[in-house]
Structure 1
């Protein structure tokens, strides 16, 4: 009995002790909470008391207080050359032992001693709703009431399509009304005077030569594109200039500068002009290229929704659009469902990209050509500079600009011939500076389009902010072959739609990212062109804002493309660089053409029938551990050999043609692994 009483007393004592501990902990929690509140108030007082500070400093200090909630991930690491770029996600739930975060925090402590700079960027975490977009209870009730009165989804989508067709019909009527009154100017006779005067070197038709034209090479014999030089080749009469100028002014006066409200209203429920996304222009034989690119894109970790714009219903591949793409968070959208039939008859290849951008669902778009393959996950581009501020990013082409000064006169754009705003020549090259502005590149002057031609195999655009850019570029593309393409390119290499977007938005941000040409070694010890690498604009932007980030160029350049004594192939504008895209456009990865016909001599086998890397070992040097060529082959094997998918211009499964393709792909993979 005594033992039982003692046991009950012990139990009561233990319970009382535990209760006391709980009370003390609760009291301590509220005390610490009040102390924390006092600390935040005192922090704000401290910030406001410091001369020259404001809320921005307060926000920075608050961020330091909350630093334990930040999760870090490496994005670009070249500390040997003084730069580490990391992504930082605030407010994330993370393990205190998160290895990458702890490692990067240690680097913050060592950066001054080890002499490297850490630059923070934002990660891409998918779509998020800002607090201001949250619906109130009243709004929820209104939405519920609206839902009761909603149309049948099929009818609602038909209304959206009808509205879009009407919108496009209006654009086309305005285009028709603003056609220049003179006949087409894209003729040899407009170069005849240059041929007769023979003042500058020219082609046999009097057109401007490109000199191999590769901007990176800086050939000594390549003339500076001065005002006098650019206006020399392509000539227009006064009547032609007046006609083009009048038509251009008329178009601008009544041009749509924003998407119509009724289009946004009907399109809202179908995701039109909403969110971020990646789009491709596919259809027919291009679908096999698109599938390879999307397959690599998803392998790299991209979660961005994808749309494949198909020009016509006849280009629709059922297996791809209904079975494969939905599993990859992608879908097909047929352009002719949203564009009047009469307009589709007028649209050619150069106009399709423009139309695809307008028809695509997303507000913020990364456009990729079907033959463009990502090397890094591009999702992060949407939430960082330079896109974050400019809302439009374009990448450069191989050549220097050839745009005629006549274009600026026709478009009503003032170019200040006495004001140089940039230097398109590398440091130390005397051609980039002169006291006489008529001796420097015309496109280094204020008001002119930047010197490098643009390459639209990839481009980013906020369609809401730059809606007028898309509508004006429609004009340039619709009348491009007859009128505007010769003004932009003067008959030289690369004539087409690629200059229309930057011309329509001259004041857009043109990143200083550079290209690289990839291919096997050819004649004169020069690289052949098999594909173009385009660089990460984030890494370039980081360096554009820092000091001493430019590479040291050659002291002397090659005379021309035949001069094998000097090579500027390895030169990069910035010390550090990171490839983002491979524009695999010559040859393209059409599987039957590449693996059955060796891309007519430009495929995986050389002239002696020996296997080779398409982009040489230099690509491996640029991409490090990521062998993009090997990954392309593996992803082709994945869809062409491991599935029974039917695609346009791809031999059917189990046929000899398909088997031969798979045999060649497997052999090339073995070569790349063993080579």
Structure 2
């Protein structure tokens, strides 16, 4: 039973929903049509932006081909194949590809994929049929009955969800490690004092182990190397292992039936969709990303998780987002207060994934901007069979061997399962298994480390992954984050999802194509890290199953990151690749910060106050000359200057501050067009 306090919280939330919708009614009356005209402009930002996804317009009566990716010069052609009773002999594009395959001048592989169909692939037929069939059976058995009260039903759903989270946290709390935290100097003291291996106050070098660059100075990350940094006593290992084992025994493995029952009418665990975390100034980033997403042809529904009721922006959530097929969902309406009080930045993503409505989720950080339409990822490999897709970080994995011992994961130190070094690099081979990179051994999580600014997950298949990663994240700052990263760059929640799936023996797919840093040329002739590019997993998967599709670096490796004589920046793991996401995280597109303060030196002007491209001209090579930076800026201009939406941490529409920001945006757009 819920306490009186919990009941008051639920009814307060329901009152807030009613109040917000009443406010929305009056807002619509005053502002109706304002944003519709803006959306028409939005579609005209790039040629063809106003059209729907061309694949979605195909009437599937006969088999047809449509081009998804063409890199025949490197031996790969990817075609979407809409199946029908027979081939459409009048379709010119299909005929062209059939002829091309018969008369290959240069040998290439044709990889067929499934086109995305919004009529069937947003809410798959089996889910829709299950609901309709269930309804018919109920009617036949029970006859006419009084319609349920939607407010009461929603209250039941909220109450069930709160109870569900309370139960999860009960297990998490009961299995807290019985030792003090290990993320402190004392546990890195021996590594610091011994000075046998280069370290940073006993921790891993922050930016060491750049996978693509594979600097010759970098030691192979063997078992001995990775166990050097974080040191635990035998009693500490036993204690962590005991609490981990106990949690695995009691944690929920499947979604509770009552949660599915009460959530069905509210779209919980239904269909495919894209999820963002919003709130506060993050709303600026989310709006920009969704705006770009829609211009690329995506029709996938979007859910923006707002952590608290105070993050719910009436204008944004009730007027603007719905016109972009997006809606807001408030986290604290579904999570007990005592849990909300414990949630920090690193736990939010995990909790948001559980609260989000969709069964299959593409999660994007607020500062992550699609470069191409991602809808098709939901209906193709690798997501179709792996049910989870993880993208790589820039660096090699730095997970301590102690994690595998604590999690009771068997690592065969005598069996090299893979070679993470590149063609011609002798560091990847040795007759002595103790000289092999530890994460090339059987039983370990493969290279590279993870970057979860984007991830895909089937929450039904990977429900237990999310429950175990909750444990890792709530005890991450004190225990598990140092076990996963040992102080290396990006230490946080990023390894918890793949580690949980790996421990549970559940399938996952790691994109192999390198994460690519984009930015202007800095010191030592290296690229500054202003944003990260992540690549299309379909193209990645197609080549992972073909022989001889990997590349070899051109020339020698640089000695270290200070060596300006050479680099591997142009090196791609596979011969073909296609940029999918731009994680624009340093600087972020906070408008006041970027255009009033030049993002503290990392903005659109250099040290001499001259304009520059944030991601350099190189990104145009990766996008086949689609100017994503210009595209982003035009969308920002659309919502910030033409429509003049008010958002947190942004000068009010019509103010002098907003006008100055818009002048800077316009000037930067002109610069990008000219260059």
What TM-score range do you get, normalising by the shorter chain? 0.7 to 0.9
Partner Cα distance (2:229, 2:423) in 1: 29
SS in 2 for 1:607: coil
The equivalent of 2:331 in structure 1 is 335
Matched, 1:418 2:414: yes
Change (3 A) 1:477 1:146: farther
The equivalent of 1:531 in structure 2 is 531
Matched, 1:114 2:106: yes
Matched, 1:597 2:589: no
The equivalent of 2:396 in structure 1 is 400
Matches within 5 A, 1:299-378: 299-378=295-374
CA drift of 1:566 comes to 1.1
Matched, 1:230 2:226: yes
CA drift of 1:147 comes to 7.3
CA drift of 1:211 comes to 5.0
Task: Give the one of 111, 125, 144 matched to 2:117.
Answer: 125
CA drift of 1:612 comes to 0.6
SS in 1 for 2:177: coil
The equivalent of 2:155 in structure 1 is 158
The equivalent of 1:72 in structure 2 is 65
Deviation by residue 1:382-418 (Cα, 9 ceiling, x = unmatched): 1111111100000000111111111111111111101
Change (3 A) 1:163 1:224: same
1:279–1:366 Cα contact (<8 Å) kept: yes
CA drift of 1:660 comes to 0.9
Moved more, 212-221 or 184-193: 212-221
SS in 2 for 1:592: helix
The equivalent of 2:92 in structure 1 is 99
Partner Cα distance (1:553, 1:593) in 2: 39
Change (3 A) 1:132 1:318: closer
Task: Give the one of 264, 274, 287 matched to 1:291.
Answer: 287
Change (3 A) 1:146 1:330: farther
2:277–2:352 Cα contact (<8 Å) kept: yes
CA drift of 1:133 comes to 3.4
Change (3 A) 1:454 1:131: closer
Matched, 1:585 2:592: no
Partner Cα distance (1:574, 1:416) in 2: 28
CA drift of 1:137 comes to 8.2
Partner Cα distance (1:147, 1:471) in 2: 40
1:71–1:92 Cα contact (<8 Å) kept: no
Partner Cα distance (2:380, 2:362) in 1: 13
The equivalent of 1:497 in structure 2 is 493
CA drift of 1:106 comes to 2.5
The equivalent of 1:512 in structure 2 is 512
Deviation by residue 1:10-43 (Cα, 9 ceiling, x = unmatched): xxxxxxxxxxxxxxxxxxxxxxxxxxxxxxxxxx
SS in 2 for 1:512: coil
Moved more, 616-625 or 508-517: 508-517
Change (3 A) 1:136 1:457: closer
TM-score by length of 2: 0.87
2:61–2:85 Cα contact (<8 Å) kept: no
SS in 2 for 1:322: helix
Change (3 A) 1:99 1:435: same
The equivalent of 2:268 in structure 1 is 272
Matches within 5 A, 1:46-57: none
Matched, 1:184 2:177: no
TM-score by length of 1: 0.87
RMSD: 1.9
2:63–2:88 Cα contact (<8 Å) kept: no
Partner Cα distance (2:133, 2:449) in 1: 53
SS in 2 for 1:85: strand
Deviation by residue 1:158-213 (Cα, 9 ceiling, x = unmatched): 1001000000000111111000111111110111111222211112x221214543
Change (3 A) 1:611 1:168: same
The equivalent of 1:547 in structure 2 is 547
Change (3 A) 1:319 1:138: closer
The equivalent of 1:262 in structure 2 is 258
CA drift of 1:91 comes to 2.8
Partner Cα distance (1:313, 1:142) in 2: 37
Deviation by residue 1:424-463 (Cα, 9 ceiling, x = unmatched): 1111111111111110111111111112100000000000
1:603–1:614 Cα contact (<8 Å) kept: yes
1:307–1:360 Cα contact (<8 Å) kept: yes
Partner Cα distance (2:373, 2:674) in 1: 27
Task: Give the one of 428, 433, 438 matched to 1:442.
Answer: 438
1:520–1:613 Cα contact (<8 Å) kept: yes
SS in 1 for 2:244: helix
Moved more, 544-553 or 141-150: 141-150
Change (3 A) 1:284 1:230: same
The equivalent of 2:12 in structure 1 is none
CA drift of 1:135 comes to 7.9
Partner Cα distance (2:199, 2:493) in 1: 24
Change (3 A) 1:569 1:482: same
1:350–1:496 Cα contact (<8 Å) kept: yes
Matches within 5 A, 1:578-657: 578-657=578-657
CA drift of 1:93 comes to 11
Partner Cα distance (2:79, 2:495) in 1: 34
The equivalent of 2:194 in structure 1 is 197
Partner Cα distance (2:487, 2:321) in 1: 39
Partner Cα distance (2:581, 2:134) in 1: 47
The size of the alignment, in residue pairs, is 607
Partner Cα distance (1:389, 1:279) in 2: 21
The equivalent of 1:46 in structure 2 is none
Partner Cα distance (2:652, 2:85) in 1: 49
2:390–2:454 Cα contact (<8 Å) kept: yes
The equivalent of 1:487 in structure 2 is 483
1:219–1:559 Cα contact (<8 Å) kept: yes
CA drift of 1:514 comes to 2.1
Change (3 A) 1:606 1:150: same
1:212–1:560 Cα contact (<8 Å) kept: no
